Amino acid sequence: MAESLKPPTPPRLSRTVESRVAIRSHPLHPMLVVFPIAFLATVAPADLLFLWSGLAFWAQLSLFMSAAGLALGVVAAAAGTVDLLLIRVVRRHVSAWSHALAAVMLLAFAAANTWLRWPDPAAAVWPWGLLLSVPMAALVGIAGWLGGGLSFHHGIGVAGHEGAEDRGPDVPPEP
């Protein structure tokens, strides 16, 4: 009975693994990925808004978001690839390789989407643009989930400090 009244133990965190691509201990890859995530996640909703409203603005926005997400995604991928290749402990995580694979697939979808839409954004939406943008949105979620797991659960690519021990977030440092 007494054991059921115990407070839950805080989650265990692994030691942090500092990024090799950082400015003053601030890792670049986690900072850069927010832009491609935001841009590429808006392509499918903009396509649906174009199909619903018929306004060319939404088709043009899809092209712009796909191109901007692709360009910034390549920059973010370069920073992430350097960390993957230079940090041995990162290469040991299956989720790191899964994240990299999902991100490469996402960039391939973004490149195909941008190439398809470039000549005429409105004509490209149905059906092929939508058939590219919906799985692209799913890949954004998958790559983001895996990358978040690497940062939040494994402490990879975060700003660490000397002497980081395995302890929960609310447990004070040991004397």
122-173 per-position pLDDT tens digit: 999 999 999 999 999 999 999 999 998 988 888 877 765 554 444 444 444 5
CA 161 to each of CA 26, 38, 77, 131, 151: distance values in angstroms, whole numbers, following the listed order? 12, 30, 25, 45, 15
Q: How confident is the model at residue 11 (pLDDT cuts 50, 70, 90)?
A: low
DSSP classification of residue 154 = T
49-101 per-position pLDDT tens digit: 999 999 999 999 999 999 999 999 999 999 999 989 998 888 888 999 999 99
Rounded-to-integer distance, Cα 86 and Cα 84, Å: 6
Its pTM stands at 0.80
Which pLDDT score, from 0 to 100, does residue 93 have? 87
CA proximity to 98, closest of 44, 132, 139: 139
Which pLDDT score, from 0 to 100, does residue 34 have? 94
Residue 8 dihedral angles phi and psi, to the nearest 5°: -65, 145
Query: Hey, what are 146's tokens?
Result: 């895996």
Which pLDDT score, from 0 to 100, does residue 166 have? 46
CA 139 to each of CA 75, 85, 142, 160: distance values in angstroms, whole numbers, following the listed order? 18, 22, 5, 29
Which pLDDT score, from 0 to 100, does residue 4 have? 65
Count of CA atoms in the C-beta half-sphere (13 A) of 128: 13
Do 147 and 99 meet the contact criterion of CB atoms below 8 Å apart?
yes
**Cα first-last separation, the chain:** 33
Rounded-to-integer distance, Cα 32 and Cα 72, Å: 7
Which pLDDT score, from 0 to 100, does residue 167 have? 43
